[in-house]
Amino acid sequence: MRVRNATCDSDEDCVAGQLDMLGNGLRTGRCVPYYHGSSKTCEVSAWCPVEDGASVSQFLGKMAPNFTILIKNSIHYPKFQFSKGNIENRKDGYLKHCTFHEVSDLYCPIFKLGYIVEQAGENFTQLAHSGGVIGVIINWDCDLDLSASKCNPKYSFRRLDPKHVPASSGYNFRFAKYYKVNGTTTRTLIKAYGIRIDVIVHGQAGKFSLIPTIINLATALTSIGVGSFLCDWILLTFMNKNKVYSHKKFDKVCTPGPSSGSWPVTLALVLGQGPPPPYPCSADPGQAGQPQGEGQSQAWAVPPPLPCPTSAPSEQMVDAPKRGAGPGLGTSEPSQQDCALTDARGLAQL
């Protein structure tokens, strides 16, 4: 690898103690001939020869898949005072002759390296050349209302490093061994490519509780509008003072009764002389229905509705004279008024 600004003509071009990021050591301040050719370069204090990536050691890809890894893991849920591990508590030397199997040996966490890479969907030969990071994910999802034997770990495997990005793909590291040969300090630099295993543990546990259940149920009923309906139904059905609640909740208003179907009214409608509209149940007949003008038809002023009477009607209302539908066309009795319980808010809620 060539280093920029490393060529020189004299010692003045090389500053002693200067460090290049792509260089292999500190500059000594001397300008020396390059090891081949006529050009010169700045001398550095470094290990010789420099790393060039040409040396390749023996490949261990054939035997490495049979290497085994023991993964110990235990969990604890302090809220429920529950603890459990992923190793079966046996005293017959079970771990000495077992390997992991999802069905028969779930609590023997001894994994072959080749099995982990295979479960992650990778090729072991390619992964061993460039290295990589494999994640072993242990998931504990436990229902503590059941027995402890139903709370079991679940293992999954996947590759964590981006294998399609050359700048960050793979896994390797360097280390050196130092020794002396004939009084000269010597080192052996090793660049190792390997498979790194990251163990990731997560999980959750739950247990039935009455209070959170009631709170969640009430929240759900309120969100869909059933809460107010149930409250009204309970208060109007089972409470001792349901009549008091009904009186406070519902308003009493008057509704006009059906109009009389006698023949004078029908004849007046045919001749274009409509009968006076029904007056409210508490209106004064002597004042309601006074004609407002003369012509082919008569218009009648109708007072606004008044509240329903809460006591017996007065003599004036009982002895009120009958009003005629028109001149010479006969008379008709005032329409009956009745009071009913209506509840606009209650109907809207139902």
Q: Within a domain: residue 268?
A: no
CB 84 within 8 A of CB 106: no
CB 161 within 8 A of CB 169: yes
- Digit-coded pLDDT (tens) for 25-47: 888 999 998 877 788 888 888 88
- Top-confidence residue, 114 or 296: 114
At residue 346, the 3 state secondary structure works out as helix
CB half-sphere exposure, 108, CA atoms < 13 A: 17
- Rounded alpha-carbon distances, angstroms, from residue 149 to 65, 82, 107: 32, 12, 12
Structure tokens given for 258: 């059906």
User: What does the pLDDT average to over 57-81?
Assistant: 86
Q: How far is Cα 191 from Cα 168, in angstroms, rounded to an integer?
A: 16
Residues 22 and 94 placed together within one structural domain of the fold = no
**For position 194, which CATH number holds?**
2.60.490.10
Strand locations in 46-183, DSSP E?
68-70, 74-77, 82-85, 110-112, 132-143, 153-159, 172-181
Contacts of 326 (CB under 8 A, 6+ apart): 268, 271, 273, 275, 297, 298
User: What does the pLDDT average to over 200-210?
Assistant: 92
- Rounded alpha-carbon distances, angstroms, from residue 189 to 19, 53, 63, 193, 287: 21, 11, 24, 13, 118
Residues 108 and 214 placed together within one structural domain of the fold = no
Structure tokens given for 49: 């020869």
At residue 155, the 3 state secondary structure works out as strand
Q: Within a domain: residue 346?
A: no
Residues 167 and 200 placed together within one structural domain of the fold = yes
Residues 20 and 99 placed together within one structural domain of the fold = no
Least confident of 59-63, 146-150, 241-245: 59-63
Residues 178 and 200 placed together within one structural domain of the fold = yes
- Where residue 118 falls (left for φ over 0; alpha for ψ -120 to 50; beta otherwise) is alpha
Residues 134 and 220 placed together within one structural domain of the fold = no
For residue 320, what pLDDT is reported? Answer: 41
For residue 63, what pLDDT is reported? Answer: 82
Tally of CB atoms within 10 A around 111: 20
Residues 83 and 160 placed together within one structural domain of the fold = yes
pLDDT band at residue 266 using 50, 70 and 90 as cut-offs: low
For residue 275, what pLDDT is reported? Answer: 53
Q: How far is Cα 331 from Cα 295, in angstroms, rounded to an integer?
A: 19
At residue 55, the 3 state secondary structure works out as coil
For residue 55, what pLDDT is reported? Answer: 63
Phi and psi at residue 260, to the nearest 5°: -70, 140
Residues 200 and 68 placed together within one structural domain of the fold = yes
CB 43 within 8 A of CB 32: yes
Among 227, 247, 267, the domain-final residue is 247
Residues 157 and 99 placed together within one structural domain of the fold = yes
> At 95, which helix (H) or strand (E)?
none
Least confident of 59-63, 150-154, 258-262: 258-262
Residues 119 and 202 placed together within one structural domain of the fold = yes
User: What does the pLDDT average to over 179-198?
Assistant: 89
- Digit-coded pLDDT (tens) for 70-122: 999 999 999 999 999 999 888 788 888 899 999 999 999 999 999 999 999 99
Contacts of 107 (CB under 8 A, 6+ apart): 86, 87, 88
- Top-confidence residue, 179 or 227: 179
pLDDT band at residue 49 using 50, 70 and 90 as cut-offs: confident
Q: Within a domain: residue 51?
A: no
> Which domain does 30 fall in, by range?
11-45
At residue 320, the 3 state secondary structure works out as coil
Residues 198 and 124 placed together within one structural domain of the fold = yes
Total domains, the chain: 3
With a cut of 50, say whether residue 217 has pLDDT above it: yes
Q: How far is Cα 196 from Cα 17, in angstroms, rounded to an integer?
A: 37
- Top-confidence residue, 202 or 253: 202
Residues 68 and 194 placed together within one structural domain of the fold = yes
pLDDT band at residue 265 using 50, 70 and 90 as cut-offs: low
At residue 220, the 3 state secondary structure works out as helix
pLDDT band at residue 236 using 50, 70 and 90 as cut-offs: confident
- Top-confidence residue, 102 or 333: 102
Strand locations in 182-231, DSSP E?
184-193, 195-206
pLDDT band at residue 254 using 50, 70 and 90 as cut-offs: low
Going by C-alpha positions, the residue among 125, 124, 108 that lies closest to residue 116 is: 124
